[in-house]
Amino acid sequence: MSKPTPLSGFPELLPAQRAVEQQVIDTLRSTFELYGFAGIETRAVEPLDQLLRKGDTSKEVYLLRRLHETSEEGHAGMGLHFDLTVPFARYVLENAGKLEFPFRRYQIQKAWRGERPQEGRFREFAQADIDIVGRDVLPFHHDVEVTRVMVDALTRLSFLPAFRLQVNNRKLIQGFYAGLGLEDLDEVMRIVDKLDKLPVEKVHQMLVDEAGATSEQADRVLSLATIRTGDDSFVAQVRGLRVSHPLLDEGLDELAALVRGVADLTSDRVRVEADLSIARGLDYYTGTVFETRLDGYESMGSICSGGRYDALASDGKITYPGVGISLGVSRVLVPLLARTGLTASRSVPSAVLVALADEDSRPASEAVAAALRARSIPCEVAPTAAKFGKQIRVAERRGIPFVWFPQADGGHQVKDIRDGNQVDADPSVWTPSPEDLRPQVVPGA
C-alpha cells in the first residue's frame, strides 16, 4: 500500500497540536459551565428536509448513502449537519416537554460542509456553540448574557491574538431602511453586507440597481453602515441622520443596551464595538447580530458569530425564540497553529519517564509509576531497558521534563533533564511544579 495523502479540508493534528486544541475545548467547556450552560451532543445526521429547511444550499450538504442503496432517490434521506444550530432547533422541538425554559446549552462538535477548502474553511470542522432558548418569549438581557459568556471564553484563551467583537441589530438597520421608504429590506441588507469585500461606490450602485433605492436613499444607507463606535455614541450619530421608525428606535435601544452591558469586559485584547455594517447574510436573525475578527487574521473573516432569532424553532403552536453565538474552533485554531507554530510544551501528557535498569526490574519501575499516578502525576515507564543515555533521549524527544531513576539500593533519584539537576526523591511525596504537571501551550519560534 502506498503512503496515504492528506484529504483536503479534513484537517488532522499531531499530538502536540491536538493538546492545544484540547486545551481550547476544555477552556470553552469550563467557561460555559461557569455560566450554567448544560452540555449536549446531537447526532451527526439530520433528515434532509430538516437540513434544507432554510433555502437551497443543498450542494454543500454531505448526503448519507448505503453502498447498496436501492431507493429511487439514491440516498438515505439523511445528511451530515453543517452547523449546530439546525440540529439544536430540532432537538429543542423533539425534547420540548422534557426541557426547562429558558434552556441554556453549549455544544462542541464537528460539522461538515462540502465547500472548497481555504484557510480557516474546512469540510470537517469543530464548532463551539452556546444558545439560550425560551418558550414564546426570551427577554433581551439574554442577548447581553451570551455576549458576555463568549467574550469571557475568548478572553481566557490567552494565546489568541487580540480580537474585535462587532455587534449590530437588525431591527435597527431594517427600521432605518423602512424609515427611508425602502421596500426590499432583505435585499438592501444583503448588499450592505458586502461592504467589507466591495468598494463603497460599487455597493452604492448595487443598491440603486438591485434594491430599487434612489441615489439619495443609497447615500443614507451607506452613511448608516459606516457608523462604528466603541460605546453607545452611535445612537446620537444615527439620530443625526434624521430617519424615524418604531423598529429603528427599538433596535437602537437594544444595541445601546448591549454595548453598555459588555463595556466592563473590554481590554486591550478585547474590543466590543457597534458596527452598523454587520448584517450576517440572508439568514434568520431578527435582532442582535455578532461577528468577530482576529487582529492580523482579517482575511479569515469572522471566527465567531451569531445573533438573535425570534423563531429558532416552532411546532406551529409554540414558538421558541433563541439567541446564540458560535465559535469556529477549527477555523481559528488550525490557521493559528500553522501560521505561528503555536504548540504544546510536550507531545505526550507524561511529566515523568521512569527509567528501566533492566527487564527484570520492570515491576520496580512500574511500582514507581503507580505511586506517581496515585497522586495524579502523568507518567510512563521507559519502553526498553536501553542505556540510560538513550532513555533520557526518549524523554527529551517527547518533551518529558523529568526522568526517574530507581536506585540499586532501593532509593530513588529524579532528574530534571532541562538543567541536568538530579536529586534524591520519594515516589510517594515528590511532586513536579504545577507548570510541569501538564503540557503547556507555548508560542511558536
Partner RNA sequence: GUGGGCGUAGCUCAGCUGGUAGAGCAUCGCGUUGUGGUCGCGAGGGUCGCGGGUUCAAGUCCCGUCGCUCACCCCA
CB of 282 to RNA, least distance (A): 6
- Of the two residues 274 and 355, which places its CB atom closer to RNA in the complex? 355
Q: Which of 25, 65, 117, 232 lies at the binding interface for RNA (CB under 7 A)? A: 117
Q: Is 280 annotated as a binding residue?
A: yes
Tell me which of 17, 31, 85, 217 binds RNA, using CB under 7 A: 85
Q: Which three cell numbers stand for residue 356?
A: 528501566
285 marked ligand binding residue: yes
Map the footprint of RNA across residues 198-257, applying CB under 7 A.
none
Instruction: Identify the DSSP state of 345.
Output: S
Q: Contact between 363 and RNA (CB under 7 A)?
A: no
Q: Which of 404, 301, 389, 400 is nearest to 355 (CA)?
A: 404
Report strand pairing: 304-314 vs 288-294: antiparallel
The region, left, alpha or beta by phi > 0 then psi within -120 to 50, assigned to residue 146 is alpha
Q: Letter for the amino acid at 103?
A: F
Closer by beta carbon to RNA, 138 or else 403: 403
Does 308 bind RNA (CB under 7 A)? Our answer is: no
182 annotated ligand-binding residue:
no
Could you say whether residue 118 binds RNA (CB under 7 A)?
Answer: yes
Q: Residue 49, interface with RNA (CB under 7 A)?
A: no
Does residue 320 belong to the site contacting RNA (CB under 7 A)?
no
Local structure of 89: helix, strand or coil: helix
Tell me the torsion sign for CA atoms 171, 312, 97, 131: negative
Concatenate the DSSP letters of all residues of 1-62 into one string: -PPP-PPTT-----HHHHHHHHHHHHHHHHHHHHTTPEE----SEEEHHHHTTT-S-GGGSP
Q: Which residues share a beta bridge with 380?
A: 353
Applying CB under 7 A, among 102, 179, 251, 301 the residue interacting with RNA is 301
C-beta closer to RNA: residue 19 or 334: 334
User: Contact at 8 Å (CB) between 108 and 25?
Assistant: yes
Which of 90, 280, 308, 412 is the binder for RNA (CB under 7 A)?
A: 280
Range 134-153, binding RNA (CB under 7 A): none
Residues 385-424 that bind RNA (CB under 7 A): 385, 387-393, 396-397, 403, 405, 413, 415, 417-418, 420, 422
Q: Of 174-182, 281-289, 339-347, 425-433, which part binds RNA (CB under 7 A)?
A: 281-289
Instruction: For residue 105, give the nearest of 115, 118, 117, 95 by alpha carbon.
Output: 95
Question: Closest distance between RNA and the C-beta of residue 421, in Å?
Answer: 8
Distance, CA of 103 to CA of 331 (rounded, Å): 27
- From the CB of 396, what's the least distance to RNA, in Å? 4
Residue 384 is assigned to a ligand binding site: no
**Site size for RNA, by CB under 7 A?**
53
